[in-house]
């Protein structure tokens, strides 16, 4: 897999973390560097860990599914990407958690601005939830014989940077980029899946 393809996958996978980071930034009265780094570390670490687990699982079943591995890779990426797009479109019509809390208190988000919850159990659950897609993609890496450790490190680092940026974007601009970012991420993953399929079918080289 080429570096630019891995970068596109990493960016696509990080869009869920980016969206949550925006919400975290939105709820901060003031963004402190160490708080943004905490958010980035949680999401980056789990985006690094999940592909490793997925690749291990994929390698266990490689002999049984090698003949159709490209179809499986395409299917996983298409489903993951499609779900990202669907969720972005449907959830974009709903209120953010911060907005719901503020509304219950009879205040707008801009006035209430509850502090971002960076506690261990909260961030653990969010990190797992936003990295499930990376687990699925890790399975495809195992099937495609991608060097998984460097790829996972790269994905984790990209997610860390994007998540940190998301915190600052959330503070500065709110959620206006959240929906479009998630849709773009889904399109990227579907595009990579199509490319893998066409390459294995010999349609493109």
Determine how many CB atoms are found less than 10 A away from the CB of residue 65. 12
Overall pTM surpassing 0.85 (yes/no):
no
* Position 106 confidence tier, pLDDT thresholds 50, 70, 90: very low
* First-to-final CA distance of the chain: 12
And the tokens for 179? 């929906």
User: pLDDT exceeding 90 applies to what percent of the chain?
Assistant: 25
pLDDT over 80 (residue 107): no
pLDDT over 90 (residue 151): yes
CA–CA gap between residue 198 and residue 119 (Å, rounded): 44
When the pLDDT of each residue in the chain is averaged and rounded to a whole number, the result is 79
And the tokens for 121? 């159990």
């Amino acid at each position: 897999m080429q570096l630019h393809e891995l970068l596109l996958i990493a960016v696509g996978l990080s869009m869920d973390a980016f969206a949550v980071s925006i919400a975290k930034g939105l709820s901060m009265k003031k963004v402190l560097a160490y708080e943004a780094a905490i958010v980035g570390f949680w999401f980056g670490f789990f985006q690094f860990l999940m592909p490793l687990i997925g690749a291990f699982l994929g390698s266990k079943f490689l002999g049984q599914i090698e003949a159709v591995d490209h179809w499986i890779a395409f299917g996983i990426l298409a489903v993951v990407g499609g779900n990202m797009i669907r969720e972005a479109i449907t959830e974009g019509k709903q209120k953010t958690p911060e907005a719901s809390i503020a509304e219950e208190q009879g205040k707008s988000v801009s006035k209430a601005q509850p502090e971002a919850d960076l506690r261990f159990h909260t961030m653990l659950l969010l990190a797992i939830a936003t990295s499930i897609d990376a687990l699925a993609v890790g399975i495809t890496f195992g099937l495609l014989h991608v060097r998984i450790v460097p790829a996972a490190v790269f994905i984790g680092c990209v997610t860390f940077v994007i998540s940190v940026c998301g915190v600052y974007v959330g503070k500065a601009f709110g959620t206006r980029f959240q929906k479009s970012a998630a849709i773009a991420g889904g399109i990227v993953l579907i595009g990579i899946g199509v490319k893998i399929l066409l390459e294995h079918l010999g349609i493109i080289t």
